[in-house]
């Protein structure tokens, strides 16, 4: 009998330890599940859109982009809320390689690898997905430089003469752009109230033009003043 009771006591002790151990494992499993749930909720992903500038790279030196090419693209991104909270448009760049561009219209697809994003951000949409880029060969033309004058000399003085050095520059653009161009102007030179000669370095104005460049792009301008007697 004692042996039976002893075995029974050992069996009960084993069962208690077994259930106690399982209870601890269950508690650990529940805590782990709760922690995992919070982790998943905390990393819940969201979608957001950005409008970012589009740049062109590796355009051959003897080519020029003509007309109004698309300069912005809309992208839709997917990332965790934590990543999106620290994301700014300055971290996103889009560029298209034009190293193989040919004269005329070039159809270029904008693919995900053309857009640089921070780690943990997935690109799900790009709009537009392709663009047309009109490229032409660069031509050149020598044109005289004219000076834009603003204001007037002091009372009793007048402009005697204006000299420009060099008096002509080489403009670079397409043949169509250069065809009707016979002169180019400098940035304005203010001579309000002056009584003596004035000399200034002025940039050749290419703003609001489609010219690629001018050589040189800065000229020396001298305005000579004469006193009226």
Per-residue pLDDT tens for 82-123?
A: 888 888 888 899 999 999 999 999 999 999 999 999 888 989
Sign of the Cα torsion 118, 123, 127, 128 reads positive
Sign of the Cα torsion 10, 11, 15, 18 reads positive
Residue 19 has pLDDT above 60, yes or no: no
pLDDT tens, position by position, 166-189: 999 999 988 888 888 899 999 999
Q: Where are the chain's structural domains?
A: 1-42, 45-137, 139-227
Q: Taking CA 101 as the corner, what is the angle to CA 97 and CA 103, rounded to the nearest 5 degrees?
A: 155
Long-range (24+ apart) CB contacts under 8 A made by 19-22 are none
- Per the prediction, the chain carries an average pLDDT of 84
pLDDT in the model for residue 46: 86
Check: CB of residue 82 under 8 Å from CB of residue 40.
no
Check: CB of residue 214 under 8 Å from CB of residue 172.
yes
**Stretch among 1-5, 25-29, 221-225 having the lowest mean pLDDT:** 1-5
CA distance 131 to 116: 18
Categorize the per-residue pLDDT at 11 as very low, low, confident or very high, splitting at 50, 70 and 90: low
Residue 4 has pLDDT above 50, yes or no: no
Which tokens belong to 91? 């971290």
139-227 CATH choice from 2.30.30.140, 1.10.40.60, 2.170.120.40, 3.30.70.120: 2.170.120.40
Are domains 45-137 and 139-227 of this chain identical in fold?
A: yes
Check: CB of residue 144 under 8 Å from CB of residue 199.
no
Q: Which residue has the tokens 């003469």?
A: 161
Strand partners, 173: 139
CATH class of 45-137: mainly beta
pLDDT tens, position by position, 20-70: 555 665 566 665 655 555 555 455 788 888 899 999 999 998 898 888 889
pLDDT in the model for residue 33: 58
Which tokens belong to 78? 């997917």
* The CA-based dihedral angle spanning residues 72, 73, 78, 81, taken in that order and rounded to the nearest 10 degrees: 20
CA distance 164 to 185: 11
For residues 156 and 85, which has the higher predicted lDDT (pLDDT)?
A: 156
């Amino acid at each position: 009998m004692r042996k039976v009771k002893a075995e029974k006591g050992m069996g009960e002790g084993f069962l208690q330890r077994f259930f106690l151990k399982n209870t601890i494992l269950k508690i650990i499993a529940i805590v782990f599940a709760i922690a995992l749930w919070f982790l998943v909720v905390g990393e819940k992903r969201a979608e957001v859109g950005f409008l970012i500038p589009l740049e062109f790279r590796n355009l051959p030196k003897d080519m020029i982009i003509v007309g109004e090419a698309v300069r912005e693209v809309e992208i839709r991104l997917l990332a965790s809320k934590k990543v999106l909270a620290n994301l700014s448009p300055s971290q996103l760049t889009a560029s298209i390689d034009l190293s193989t561009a040919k004269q005329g219209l070039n159809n270029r697809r904008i693919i995900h690898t053309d857009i640089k994003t921070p780690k943990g951000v997935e690109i799900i949409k790009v709009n537009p997905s392709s663009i047309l880029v009109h490229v032409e060969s660069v031509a050149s033309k020598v044109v005289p430089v004219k000076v834009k004058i603003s204001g007037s000399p002091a009372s009793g003085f007048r402009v005697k003469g204006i000299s420009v050095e060099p008096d002509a520059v080489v403009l670079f653009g397409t043949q169509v752009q250069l065809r009707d161009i016979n002169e180019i102007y400098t940035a304005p030179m203010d001579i309000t109230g002056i009584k003596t000669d004035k000399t200034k370095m002025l940039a050749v104005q290419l703003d609001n033009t489609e010219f690629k460049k001018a050589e040189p792009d800065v000229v020396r301008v001298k305005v000579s003043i004469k006193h009226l007697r």
